[in-house]
Every structure is written in C-alpha cells, then in structure tokens.
A and B are shown apart, each in its own frame.
Chain A
C-alpha cells in the first residue's frame, strides 16, 4: 500500500507546489517510487515547477472521465526514473473532480507506488477537500505571518473532521508543520512570526523550516525542483525535511541568523 501525503495550507502562495515538487523528488531520489498529483484544476502549476509542461498530453480529469488510461497521463520525470507526475487540467471545470474518481485513481496508483504526493489547491473548497480526503499524512505549509497561520489552523480542523480516516473512525491523519519562506533576519526585526510563535499557535510537530531563498524562484523558473539544487539553503532544508519524514533525526537548520563565515559557506542562491 502506498502512503498518501497531502501538501496543503488553506492560504495561497505559501509554497505548496514548490514543497510538493521538492518532497516528491526527495522521496524518489531515495529510491522510492513516487507520484505527485496536481489537484489545482484550472490553475495548474506543478508541471511548470517540475519542468514537464511541454510533455503534458492527458491530465487528471481525462483519467477521471475515462478519456485516458492512467498510464497515458503519467509523465516520467526527466531527472529521476522513480518519479512520475500526474498533471491537473488547465481547461476543464473543477466540478469534474469527483470523490469516487479520485478514490479509483489513488487505489490504482497504490498498487505501483510507494508514495503519492497530492498538491492541494489553495482554499477550502472542493479541490482542496478532495486532495486531502484520502490522505494518510498531511504536510501543512505555513508562512510565518498571522493570516497564513490562521488558515493553516482552519485546514487542520478540516483534516481532523472531513477526511476518510475521520469519517471511518480510523487513526487520524498524521499532521506535520512545514514553515516556509522563513527569514531569521526579519523575525529578529519583529516583522515575522518566529518558529516558536507559530508552534505555540498551531501546536503541531515541526517537520522543517525552509528559509526564504532566491534559489526557490530560480529553480521554479528553470523547472527543476529546488531540492536538486544541493548548494542552496532551501534545497538542503527540503532534503532535511524528507530525511525527517523518513524518521531520521536531523537538527533544525536555517532558524538562526546567518553570520560571517557560516553565511558565506551557505550563501544564498
């Protein structure tokens, strides 16, 4: 059985797709067969971040509506043979997403894959609901600012009550906090919430802190998941996150301000 991971947040623009791409790539690079699914029908981005936008023929909706077989829609990643992408449709209506359809696809993928990463759309509407409904684990992506934290809190409430695990009275979804776009300098100036502030409000297990980094934007533009940029701080932080998710004990980095030699060694971008 595959493990289904949903990457969600409530708020938009916090780094869900960047995270989905990085986590999926990280898991695949460790030798696990992984598929990452874009649930953001109508506003698909994952294919861009993964650099496979020119190879999209069929998408999630085609598979749900029976116009294409799952194998036809899956795109093999060019960097890692263990990684596959199931893109969202840019042209179809969101209403074509159905719970049964998603359930069937996930069942079928579970036979072949070890991990299924679901990139949730922003908001708490149908797309976001379906992305998390079948999840086993949830990565809640949060920026260190109050509106993002509150939206994440709302999402956590929905995860606890509206998922398949909740409805069938199974063990609840495992929830992890991922703090992204973190800037220790701005925390020090009081412009951003600190890790502790966010932890106190959300009371959630912290899987990692991804620093605000130019490398994220340049990786997105290049269509390469940032985790492959092993020299960048964000890339290393995502590698740590994957390691921690796999149960390894890694100390948290990039929480404190960079200084002197340290700063030069881990220079940005």
Chain B
C-alpha cells in the first residue's frame, strides 16, 4: 500500500516548516523622547490592559528615520518590555538600529516598496540595493482556474487571475493583483507594505480590498464602483477606486 511508508515517516517527523501570515500590532514611533513614548504607551495600555498584556509587538522606526530622529533600540526595548509588551521585530530601522536589534535577539525586517525609497531621499546610503531588487523581483503568478471558496493564494510578486475569485477566498500579493473574472473574495495587494501596489479587476464585488494594509470592506464600496471594471490604488493613505 502506498500509504504505509508515508504513515511511518510521519511518526518519525519531529518538525515541519510552514509559511503563514498573521497580524501583529505595530508600534509606529513619531518621537525619540523615551519619556513621552513611555507615558503615552501607558495611557494606551490602560484603555485595554488585557489586549496588550504579553502582546507581541513590532517596532516601526520608519517615521523616526524620516524625521532624522535617532533612538537607541535597547532603551526602547527595555521600556516596552517593562510595560509587558514583547517586541518581536523592528522594521524601517537604519543599519545601526538593525544591528542593535539583532544584538538583542530581535529580528530586523527590511521594508519593501515605497517606504525605503523615501528614506533614501533623506539618507543616501542604505536604500541603494532596494531598487534593483524591486525591478527584477519574483515573477508573477498566473491562475487560470476559478479560485474557490476557502482557498488562499499568496504571490510573492504580482498575481494574475484569469477566472472568477469566489466569495470566501483570500488572494494576496506582495505586488499588484489583476483579476479578469469577477472579484468576489478578499484581495490584498502590497501585503509587505508596498504602497505603490494596485488592484485591477474587471468586475468589483469584493468582500474586502486592501493595499499595504489599508482596507475597505464590501459595505464601504459605493454602488458607483460595484460590478464595474476598476483599479484600486493608494493616495495619501486612502484607497482610491477608479473606473478603467
């Protein structure tokens, strides 16, 4: 029986690597005054103590670096931990901050997409390698069969679907999403933070649309764009839906 060897191999299997996405609160910092940060954080936590207790948290230095404000990662981590939050990563940090984070055993995430380029304008050095990475990034995934309810599709680059995307599905891409059938499920473009990502579809009936984490649910879609061929993009942190 072909299944027998499989069974025994499974019993010896101690681990398995799986890829999954989950949401984590992100602490975006605008000030490098540790005192202000601590105080305001305490106030926030007081509003929902159970929610924040031992919650994993991602530290976001993007805005700080845009404003040329420096902050020692170790100090912030100590302050955050004292408030019973557990930092699991740093993003948008510069090279020094990333090194500091790694020394504390905290992974440093490199942002893809628009944001690092903006840093490049003010700080010349670190963002240089980002640009070629973007242009010859992972190639697009093409799907010709209908995406059925309950299915999830994740593309590391662009995602092109030539068939219907049913309700109860989730299609995600780090780049753009194109749907040439009806789009009835959830479509999330730029899931790694690429604010330049767009969604194109020939018939918009989506349950949810999102670009770089900014989303709209079906109820928020006006009748003027429903059942129409549209493109969706970000402008000043809000989703714009436009006919094409």
Interface residues of A (CB under 8 A from B): 99-100, 103, 150-151, 153-154, 156-158, 160-161, 200-203
Contacts and interface: CB of A to CB of B under 8 A. Distances in A.
Contacts of B148: 153-154, 156-158, 160
Interface of B: 1, 3, 145-151, 163-164, 166-168, 181-182, 184
Nearest to A150: B149
Contacts of B168: 150, 153-154
19 contacts: A100-B1, A150-B149, A150-B167, A150-B168, A153-B149, A153-B166, A153-B168, A154-B148, A154-B150, A154-B168, A156-B148, A157-B147, A157-B148, A157-B149, A157-B150, A160-B145, A200-B182, A201-B184, A203-B181
A133 to B, nearest CB: 11
Nearest to A146: B167
A100 B7 CA distance: 11
B223 to A, nearest CB: 19
Nearest to A99: B3
B6 to A, nearest CB: 10
B3 A154 contact: no
Main secondary structure of the interface of A (DSSP, over half): helix
Contacts of B167: 150, 153
Give the one of B147, B149, B163, B167 with max A CB within 10 A: B149
A203 B164 contact: yes
Contacts of B149: 150-151, 153-154, 157
A202 B1 CA distance: 36
A154 B150 CA distance: 6
A142 B139 CA distance: 38
B230 to A, nearest CB: 19
A161 B151 contact: yes
A158 B149 CA distance: 9
B164 A157 contact: no
B30 to A, nearest CB: 44
Nearest to B152: A157
A151 B3 CA distance: 29
A173 to B, nearest CB: 12
A158 B150 contact: yes
Contacts of A100: 1, 3
B123 to A, nearest CB: 46
Give the one of B3, B145, B166, B167 with max A CB within 10 A: B166
Given A99-B3, A100-B1, A100-B3, A201 B151 contact: no
Given A150-B149, A158-B150, A161-B151, A203 B163 contact: yes
